[in-house]
Amino acid sequence: MAAHDTVERLLLNLRGGDPFADVAASAPSHRDEHGQECGLYPAGPAVMSLAGSFARAAHARTTLDLGCGTGYSSLWLAHSTSTASRLDAVDRFGWHLDLARHNAATHGLGARITFHEADAAGYLATCDTRYDLIHDDAWFAHEPSYLQVMIGRLEPGGVLTMPNWFLLTEAVSDHPSRDWSEFAGSDWRDATLSYAHRLASHPELEVNWITDPPLGVAVRRGR
Ligand SMILES: C[S@@+](CC[C@H](N)C(=O)[O-])C[C@H]1O[C@@H](n2cnc3c(N)ncnc32)[C@H](O)[C@@H]1O
Atom of ligand 1 nearest to the CA of 76: 8
Question: Which of 8-17, 46-55, 68-77, 132-141 is predicted with the least confidence, judged by mean pLDDT?
Answer: 8-17
Overall number of domains in the chain: 1
**Mean pLDDT of all residues in 34-56:** 96
- Before 42, cis peptide (omega within 30)? no
pLDDT digits (tens, 9 = 90+) for 196-215: 999 999 999 999 999 999 99
For the four alpha carbons of 29, 33, 35 and 41, in that order, the dihedral sign comes to negative
Backbone Cα Rg of the chain: 17
**Mean pLDDT of all residues in 32-36:** 95
Mutational test site, ligand 1, from 31, 77, 92, max ligand atoms within 8 Å of CB: 92
192 phi-psi bin (left φ>0, alpha ψ -120 to 50, beta other):
alpha
- pLDDT bucket at 223, cuts 50 / 70 / 90: confident
**Mean pLDDT of all residues in 98-111:** 98
CA of 68 to the centre of ligand 1 (A): 5
CA pair distance 37, 223, nearest whole angstrom = 40
- pLDDT bucket at 1, cuts 50 / 70 / 90: low
Atom of ligand 1 nearest to the CA of 144: 19
- pLDDT bucket at 107, cuts 50 / 70 / 90: very high
**Mean pLDDT of all residues in 108-127:** 98
DSSP code per residue over the chain: -HHHHHHHHHHHHHTT--TTHHHHHTHHHHHHHH-TT-------HHHHHHHHHHHHHTT-SEEEEES-TTSHHHHHHHHHS-TT-EEEEEES-HHHHHHHHHHHHHTT-GGGEEEEES-HHHHHHH----EEEEEE-S--SSPPTTHHHHHHTEEEEEEEEEGGGHHHHHHH-SS-SS-THHHH-TTHHHHHHHHHHHHHT-TTEEEEEEETTEEEEEEES--
pLDDT of 97 > 90? The answer is yes
Domain CATH code at residue 35: 3.40.50.150
Query: In this structure, which long-range contacts are made by residues 20-24, counting pairs with CB atoms below 8 Å and at least 24 apart in sequence?
Result: 20/45, 20/48, 20/72, 20/75, 20/76, 20/79, 20/103, 20/107, 21/45, 22/103, 23/70, 23/71, 23/72, 23/75, 23/103, 23/107, 24/72
CA of 17 to the centre of ligand 1 (A): 24
- pLDDT bucket at 2, cuts 50 / 70 / 90: confident
**Mean pLDDT of all residues in 131-137:** 98
Mean confidence (pLDDT) of the chain: 96
Report if pTM > 0.85: yes
CA of 96 to the centre of ligand 1 (A): 9
The number of C-alpha atoms within 13 Å of 70 and in the hemisphere containing its C-beta is 24
Q: What pLDDT score was predicted for residue 93?
A: 98
Provide the residue range defining the domain that includes 172: 2-220
Which residue owns the Cα nearest ligand 1 atom 16?
A: 138
